[in-house]
Amino acid sequence: MARKKFVCGNWKMHRTAAEARTLAREVRAAAEPLAGRVDVAVAPPFTALFAVGAELAGSRIGLGAQNLHWEAQGAFTGEVSAHMLAEAGCRYVLCGHSERRQLFGDTDEAVRKKTGAALAAGLHPIVCVGETLPERESGRTLEVVGRQVRAALSGLGPDSIGGLTVAYEPVWAIGTGKTASAAQAQEVHAAIRGILKDLAPGAADAVRILYGGSVKPDNAAELMSQPDVDGALVGGASLKAIDFTGIIQGAIR
């Protein structure tokens, strides 16, 4: 079945609220004409969510967050709940980004709980999975990614699985300038699609699987031309409106 492409920009720990407002204004001006053909979202830092949301109000560009805690409230200093994100105007939230896994200790179980909390709050989770360079070099890519996907979606029914997005982001390609080839990306995306068909046969073909890892305007079209690559999770290139728009254009070629 045809799946509408989806491009999401992850701004990571970049841009103050004022700077994010300016970038959001630039992204809206450049990307809004394309947003009917491709779903578009940006995920600024927590401190800029309201500012960016105000700039995007009335547009077709969605607001996302980069992380969440699975509890609704409590003594969790420094954390943000799904309901707080929903109140801030978020539609999407990243769960288990590789930097959260690698630098901050997010486990498969934590990602599972975050995904469930996001769905319960009416948010659309973007569940991130991916292997390290040693895991790829040892031939364990599909094993590692398969484990991460199954763990994150454990206990979810078909309707819930149909309400999320998966992002494959090889850790070795994030911020390194290295990019998986289109064939490498397709191989892993097809394997993820196979797992989704095991878990939710009726919903698997509708779930979008994004590629993330040094996506740029000059490689976006080739990556997203693959049958199971349904869009991109964009890091550094999303911090320049012209580059981000170039990637979106790559999704509709």
CA atoms within 13 A on the CB side of 253: 16
* CA dist., res. 109 & res. 96, Å (int): 10
Whether the CB-CB separation of 224 and 205 falls below 8 Å is answered with no
Q: Pairing mode, if any, of strands 209-212 and 39-43?
A: unpaired
Q: Is the domain defined by 6-251 classed in CATH 3.40.50.300?
A: no
Give CA separation, 131 vs 30, 99, 169, 180, 199, in Å: 33, 12, 8, 12, 21
pLDDT value at 161 more than 90: yes
Which listed residue (69, 97, 124, 189) is catalytic? 97
pLDDT of residue 1: 59
DSSP characters over 70-105: SSSSSS-TT--BHHHHHHTT-SEEEES-HHHHHHH-
For helices 108-120 and 141-152, the axis angle rounded to 10 degrees is: 40
What integer is the mean pLDDT of 125-137? 95
Share of the chain above pLDDT 70, in %: 99
3-state secondary structure 123-191: CEEEEEECCCHHHHHCCCHHHHHHHHHHHHCCCCCHHHHCCCEEEECCHHHCCCCCCCCHHHHHHHHHH
Share of the chain above pLDDT 90, in %: 94
What integer best gives the mean pLDDT of the chain? 96
pLDDT value at 98 more than 90: yes
Is 109 assigned a catalytic role?
Answer: no
175-197 pLDDT, tens digit per residue, is 787 888 999 999 999 999 999 99
Which listed residue (55, 124, 169, 189) is catalytic? 169
pLDDT value at 103 more than 80: yes
What integer is the mean pLDDT of 189-208? 96
pLDDT of residue 177: 79
At 110, is the pLDDT very low, low, confident or very high (cuts 50, 70, 90)?
Answer: very high
Residues 6+ apart with CB under 8 A from 70: 82, 110, 113, 114, 116, 117
At 39, is the pLDDT very low, low, confident or very high (cuts 50, 70, 90)?
Answer: very high
* CA dist., res. 187 & res. 37, Å (int): 26
pLDDT of residue 172: 87
What is the domain partition of the chain in residue ranges? 6-251
What integer is the mean pLDDT of 111-138? 97
pLDDT of residue 179: 80
32, with CB counted inside 10 A (0-12, 13-18, 19+), is middle
pLDDT value at 107 more than 90: yes
Is 97 assigned a catalytic role?
Answer: yes
Backbone angles phi, psi at 42, to 5 degrees: -130, 145
What integer is the mean pLDDT of 214-219? 94
pLDDT of residue 138: 96
The one-letter amino acid code at 77 reads T
Q: Quickly count: other Cβ atoms within 10 Å of residue 125's Cβ.
A: 29
Handedness of CA 100, 103, 104, 109 (dihedral sign): positive
